[in-house]
Chains A and B, each alone.
Chain A
Amino acid sequence: MVTLEEFTTPDSTQASQWQRTWRTVASRLMGERDTEQQAKQEHELRKLPETRLSHIVPSIDWSPAAELLAQALSRQGLESEPVVFFITPPHGGHGEVVGHWARQQGVDEIPPPTYQALTDGSLEWVKHCAPFKRWALPELERHMLRHSQGLQGVREFLERAMSGRLGHGVIGCDSWTYAYLQHVVGVEGAPVFTLQALEGEQLASYFAAIASSQEDELAVYSTRTGKLVLPRRDDQVRKATANGELQRLAAHCRGHLGVAWHYWRERLREPVSEHGAQAHSQKLWLLDALADAELPATTGDVAMLVLHALLLHGGLEDQALGDVLPFSHHEALNARLALTRQGILSCQGSRWQVAPLSYASVRQLLESRNYLVDPL
């Protein structure tokens, strides 16, 4: 847990971005398959069954992060601060962390307003916050809309909260929404915490730790290099040397645990046995982290605007997406469908969001085209 000013991306993040650019150029010139030699071909591997995957890569438990947040607030004497922000990038778990914190501390959570209330510019939900003395707001992105009426509520709420009229609270917020609100509302002055980016070694420890004890013999190799990515738990000798590929993954994900977890879960493979029988192999393979759904550099403005709108709102439903874009709902839907077909978007509940495996390339492309990007 670090303050926003202390946050740094992993060492080789910039190199990873250059690599991604080079891969895009190379795949255009030489074709997708010839860009890099693979030590293990994808067709020799298959996805893991869901049951086994849930043992090896269970869902992230965000409660330790909530405890870290509580400790950080206590250590820095911020418990009486009117507002403290906790921000993470998409899939980074800020809602879960602040939700856990609220339950641990026994404070009330402020529910998000309805979509109708947001588009009407209603301030009713802000008025309902008045009785709280200590509160938590897990997902601030659900309380605003980039719409001429959609900022009034969040502006009023933050004004009251930051002036101390609502007591003390912790706000969980998507890092993209936070970047946007910095410009449209002004949230300077409030302390901001986030999770420090993980390096490859920390990722290795985490992935080894979350695998259930039945998977003690588990070893993961890279299809790109054929080298060990995650050694067996008892293999101390190789542990020190096996972090190169995970450092690459960490750099690619900008050190964000949530994104890296999705990579780990989506790209683990097991070998196909000769007779096609179900083999419970302890030797698993990790597909190349960079060979995922990437946006071509020639992506048009409409697609860019859709992606940017989704990121600024932490995901949107189709109706809301049409309302925040400067073209018809029909065009917005077509663009969203095209991006979904390319694997760039995924659906969480009824909200469309940039898929975790595409997040890094989408962020890089938006940044290269001068769109507002998050600070993480």
Chain B
Amino acid sequence: MDDPKRYARLFNDIDGPTLITLAVILVCVVLLIIVSQRGLNWLANRLHGQVRFRVFALVPLTRLLILITALAIAVPIVIEPSLRNMVTVLGAVGLAIGFALKDYVSSLIAGVVSAIELPYRPGDWVDIEGTYGEVRHVGMRTVKILTPDDDLVTVPHLKLWDTAIYNANNGETSLQCVASFYLHPAHEAGWVRKALRDVALTSAYLKFDQPITVVAEEQPWGTHYRIRAYPVDPRQQFLFITDLTVRGKRVLSQAGVKAALLPPDAVMDSPDSAGGRRGQPPGR
């Protein structure tokens, strides 16, 4: 018989003015989040270089701050903020979550963690379980990635707990690109190395304050060369690789260097080891 009274003591009286206050808080939170998210995204998309990434990083952080502030205001209005009440309410909520909304809430918590640890932020180029693309939006529960094929992939934040996240530029403007060349073994390797370096040095997209490396790897079918270099803007990575490839092929072809003829059963490098994945963080 005492139970209803005991639960009633958990909550404050929810009368008309209280409901209006909660509604006002809710509306303000929604409006603030919409305005801040759209405003910051609008601003960041008009900026370039490092500032762009800094502004993008503010998007999830701003939303998190707004939500925490709103909860700090709203919870004491609904619940009498004593230790016993909080333990009771949190226990009940935890039980519900444990049974019904485990993954959903796990993603929400991972979203909070992602806003603090910043494993990815809008503008970053990431690879999560084989999905490679530019982070377009970091939401509360999911991160939206736009792939080079123009597919928008939604990945829940809970991948953060147990999946390796490859971030190619990590909030910076430097993103290493790799252009591969598979050459017939009969060639002068020193000349090819210099020629490929010149190909990178004469690219309009090249970022000069990062190193250019030409890597050669001998294979049973020939030699695999890779130009590792950085474009001025991470968004130019595919144009940069294309430019390196097209001009590299032209130079090699003019010099009479032939492409490797791979036997049908040749074992190719995995995309990662061959540098086939477009953006790679430096040092990988």
Contacts and interface: CB of A to CB of B under 8 A. Distances in A.
Interface string A292-303: 000001100100
B202 A150 contact: yes
Given A298-B46, A326-B243, A368-B49, A148 B232 contact: no
A335 B205 CA distance: 17
Nearest to B203: A326
B198 A151 contact: yes
A307 B201 CA distance: 18
B27 interface: no
Contacts, number: 55
A183 B48 CA distance: 24
B247 interface: yes
B203 A370 contact: no
Nearest to A325: B204
Given A148-B247, A148-B250, A148-B251, A369 B201 contact: no
B43 to A, nearest CB: 11
B257 interface: no
Interface string B86-118: 000000000000000000000000000000000
B54 interface: no
A325 B246 CA distance: 12
A146 interface: yes
B48 A369 contact: yes
B232 A151 contact: no
Contact of A301 (B195, B199, B207, B233): B233
Contact of B233 (A151, A324, A325, A370): A370
B191 interface: no
A184 interface: yes
A148 B197 CA distance: 10
Nearest to A309: B204
Given A326-B239, A326-B243, A146 B202 contact: yes
B236 to A, nearest CB: 7
A324 B205 CA distance: 11
A371 B208 CA distance: 8
Given A151-B202, A184-B201, A326-B205, A369 B233 contact: yes
Contact of B236 (A298, A301, A309, A372): A301
Q: How large, as a class, is the contact surface on chain A?
A: 20 to 34
B204 A147 contact: no
A122 B268 CA distance: 39
Chain B interface: which size bin?
Answer: 20 to 34
Nearest to A372: B208
B173 A370 contact: yes
Contacts of B233: 301, 369-370
B112 to A, nearest CB: 32
Nearest to A373: B208
Nearest to B239: A326
A91 interface: no
Contacts of A291: none
A159 to B, nearest CB: 13
A308 to B, nearest CB: 7
A202 to B, nearest CB: 33
Q: Which 4 A-B pairs have the closest CB atoms?
A: A326-B243, A372-B208, A184-B201, A369-B48
24 contacts: A146-B202, A148-B199, A148-B202, A148-B247, A148-B251, A150-B202, A151-B198, A151-B201, A183-B201, A184-B198, A184-B202, A305-B205, A308-B204, A324-B204, A326-B204, A326-B205, A326-B243, A368-B48, A369-B49, A369-B232, A370-B232, A370-B233, A371-B232, A372-B208
Given A151-B202, A184-B198, A326-B247, 15 more contacts: A148-B199, A148-B250, A148-B251, A297-B47, A298-B46, A308-B204, A324-B204, A326-B204, A326-B243, A368-B49, A369-B232, A369-B233, A370-B173, A370-B209, A370-B233
